Amino acid sequence: MLETIQEEIKNHMVVAIKLAPVCEHDLVKLAKAMVDVYKKGNKILFFGNGGSAADAQHITADLVGRLSKERRAFAAIALTSNTSNLTAISNDYGFDRVFERQVEALATKGDLLIGISTSGKSVNVIKALQKGKEMGCICAGLSGQTKGPMNDCADIMINVPSEEVTRIQEMHILVGHVLCLAVEKELG
């Protein structure tokens, strides 16, 4: 058991160390986009499936609430939180459209959409980003190192340098915290 724990922590650290040099340019780009969106009075919408849905809600809470210091609330919505929306849209339109339909209803031109998919292949995430592009939103994605179709429809992509789902998810929450801290520092 101790060996498993040590190995997992070591593997986490290896990916975390690789993250900055691989993603720092895109992290700066995404942080600046977030700041610009808030300066213009727009909002950020997050979405993903499974663990990525939880990450969407976690990052949203850090923006609406706070992460490190007292400051004004930032407008953010997790499209994964409203169970009535999720189940009604999935029932009426299919699960592939569960986020797209919410983007159509809640997003406005100039908003930032951040889709989260460890594989970069989640159809419902891709459809939501495509809808956002049609509506004039800025589209970003968090994924793993294997570039999937999500890369083709996002203006900004953070591709974590790993193919292992657990490592990708761990880095996504780190990325979320880094982005929130950058926004707080700039606008707080």
Residue type, 35: V
Distance CA 80, CA 166 (A): 20
- Cβ neighbour number for residue 84 with a 10 Å cutoff: 7
Distance CA 126, CA 140 (A): 11
Total count of residues recorded for the chain: 188
- Cβ neighbour number for residue 49 with a 10 Å cutoff: 21
Q: Output the pTM of the full model.
A: 0.96
Angle made by CA atoms 56, 60, 66, in degrees to the nearest 5? 140
Task: Given CATH 3.40.50.10490, say whether it is the number of domain 27-187.
Answer: yes
Residue indicated by tokens 């942080």:
31
Summarised one tens digit per residue, pLDDT across range 5-20 is 999 999 999 999 999 9
Summarised one tens digit per residue, pLDDT across range 104-141 is 999 999 999 999 999 999 999 999 999 999 999 999 99
**Domains of the chain, residue spans:** 27-187
Rounded to whole angstroms, what are the CA distances from 34 to 60, 75, 88, 139, 160? 12, 11, 30, 11, 19
Distance CA 16, CA 168 (A): 10
